[in-house]
Amino acid sequence: MNNRDDFAPEVRKFHEIFEYRDGDLYRKRGQFAGKAGTIHHTGYMQVKVNKKNYRAHRIIFAMHHGYLPEYIDHIDGNKLNNRIENLRESTNQTNQYNVGLVKRNKSGVKNVVWDRTKWKVYMRINTKMTHLGAFDDLELAELVAVEARNKFHGEFVNHG
């Protein structure tokens, strides 16, 4: 993680410029006073500070905790829910655990794919892609995937 002291001046600047209310940032003064931010094409709310773009959830986290971690996870997976109780520090790996079912998934079950004759369960465990078994039955493959996610993803588990 980043050295927390490196961000002290930046965090003070955020407090000077913004007020936090119920998951939103509000500019305190100037011609742009009021609710701040626009939705970026990635789906995150962003704001500009001194000609630099920031994701709003990063500013909110910094204002509450006094530092900017490398990764911040939205607990409920909603990129626009920037309430402080929905934000937590994470690593790249744990942040990926909290990703829901991706659009290109054809099985309808996270971590389960059809491979010619069987339903196969794959999961990234400690950065390594791991094959957890091949099953005739989709429901059994789903059960194996759910149990593995519960075991290996801990508080960051997301079943899709």
Q: In the chain, where does the domain assigned CATH 3.30.730.10 lie?
A: 100-156
Residue ranges, the chain, pLDDT below 50? 1-3
- Position 93 scores a pLDDT of 87
pLDDT at 1: 41
pLDDT at 97: 86
Q: In this predicted model, what pLDDT tens digit does every residue of 19-42 receive, in sequence order?
A: 999 999 999 988 778 899 999 999
End-to-end, the C-alpha distance of the chain in Å comes to 28
Task: Supply 132's token pair.
Answer: 């957890």
Q: Do 19 and 84 contact (CB within 8 A), yes or no?
A: no
Q: What is the pLDDT of residue 124?
A: 87
Helices 56-65 and 8-17: crossing angle in degrees, nearest 10, is: 110
| Delimiting residues of CATH 3.90.75.20 domain(s) in the chain | 4-90
The CA radius of gyration of the chain, in Å to the nearest whole number, is 20
pLDDT score, position 6: 59
Decide: helix, strand or coil at residue 79: coil
Q: Which amino acid makes up residue 54?
A: Y
Mapping DSSP to helix (H, G, I), strand (E, B) and coil, where does residue 81 land?
Answer: coil
Strand partners of residue 24 = 21
Residue 125: exposure state from Cβ atoms within 10 A (0-12, 13-18, ≥19): middle
Closest CA to 91 of 152, 160, 2, 1: 1
**Fold exhibited by the domain 100-156:** GCC-box Binding Domain (3.30.730)
Class of domain 4-90: alpha beta
Residue 58, phi-psi category: left (phi > 0), alpha (psi -120 to 50), beta (remainder):
alpha
pLDDT (tens digit per residue) in 41-65: 999 999 998 899 999 999 999 999 9
Q: What is the pTM of this model?
A: 0.79
